[in-house]
Amino acid sequence: MINITLFSQIISKLDRSKFNKLTSSKGTDKHNKGYNSWTHLVSMLFCQFAKSQSVRDISNGLRSATGNLNHMGVQKAPSKSSVSYQNKHRDFSLFKEYYFCLLESLGQQAGFKQVKFRIKSKIFLLDSTTISLCLSLFDWAKYKTAKGAVKMHTLLDYDGNLPAYVNITDGKTADNKGAYQVPLHKGSVIVADRFYNDFYLLNVWDSKGVFFVIRHKENLQYESKGEITLPENRHQNIIIDELIELKTPASKKKYGKRLRRVAIWDEKNKQTIELITNQMTWTANTISELYKSRWQIEIFFREIKQNLHIKSFVGTTENAVMIQIWTALITILILKALKAMAGYKWHLSNLVAFIRLNIFVKINLQEWLDKPFHEPPKLEPNTSIQGILF
């Protein structure tokens, strides 16, 4: 029988050597007084998996695992004051950079089956989500007069369904403004909604050899420069495929090249979706399917908000909020890696709930992932022993 808790086995999946290198380079363990960076990471991952509502819950929860902490590389459970202090003072960029380190290793396991496009370009989905905060407590998070918020601008890798880039800003930052720092990969394609219909931004992407598929605004002013012939008996949802040029001088100054405009009929929602792209060779149906894939990023935002602990925060400083968001992203990465390892077809919400219920149960992780409802073999009663007892 295994003598290590489920949570300890999950923590063992993390590459501690890479974390130690980051810790050394950033000097985050200087004057740590016993609560080092690794213990901090384990504490905040416990906050996510157990959905702890306060630093007291984190401290008491880890304290209840006395005798099992050493398996996680933790000497003793932290006090609530230690968690609170380090959330305020330890640089959140340590957890941010560790997420991307883990993405290179665990992220390779976390991919899931999707409809594959017959294109060689790497596909990225771009969008943002707003995380509401109470302005009286989080006075640094300016959004509206009586409401605070941060906005998470996310570039999602279509293949792994995990963020390849995240830019966290205040709630006031417009979607297109938060996208200017997005890393550009030549030959890749970025799929986004109409809030990224910024011609100056699109020109930057085009100049770097990046393709884009963007839903354009209803008031777009353009001149048609010729239609592209549509197939007669296929893809009847494609209304028009044409080449256009922007009409107004201000728009032409920002983007002077020709664009391709594809209009699609959305039968489900009874509406026309109009797209623009700088990719001239793919079929109109490929452009349509690429935009349809954008829904994956909405699913990702729903997953992290429903299953992880980012709707309320255990600290009120900007640094504490950033640490909690980045450890939530590390948690979703771990969860998707576990889901990929499992023989059982888990729904992410069920996996999170079952881990939460069994977090300190001593059971083999892989066996549990493969057969969560498998009953242990029944032991045959030993009659000779029974005879001795009576």
DSSP 9-62: HHHTTS-HHHHHHHHHHHTTTTT-TT--HHHHHHHHHHHHHHT-SSHHHHHHHH
Q: Is residue 165 part of a domain?
A: no
**Residue at token pair 């489920």:** 6
In a domain, residue 173? The reply is no
- 113 in any annotated domain: no
Q: What is the pLDDT of residue 69?
A: 87
Residue 68 belongs to some domain of the structure: yes
Q: How many domains does the chain have?
A: 1
- Decide if 360 is inside a domain: yes
pLDDT score, position 390: 44
CA 182 → CA 21, 201, 251, 325, 371, distances in Å?
Answer: 26, 11, 22, 19, 41
pLDDT of residue 278: 96
pLDDT along the chain (390 residues), means of 10: 87 94 93 87 96 94 84 90 94 96 79 66 94 87 86 92 92 90 91 94 95 92 90 83 94 94 90 94 92 93 93 93 96 93 92 93 92 68 50
Range of the domain at 85: 6-105+322-370
The predicted structure's pLDDT at residue 137: 84
Structural domain contains residue 381? no
The answer to the question of residue 245 being in a domain is no
pTM over 0.85: yes
Structure tokens that stand for 316 in this block: 């009120």
* 101 within some domain: yes
Q: 83 near 43, Cβ under 8 Å?
A: yes
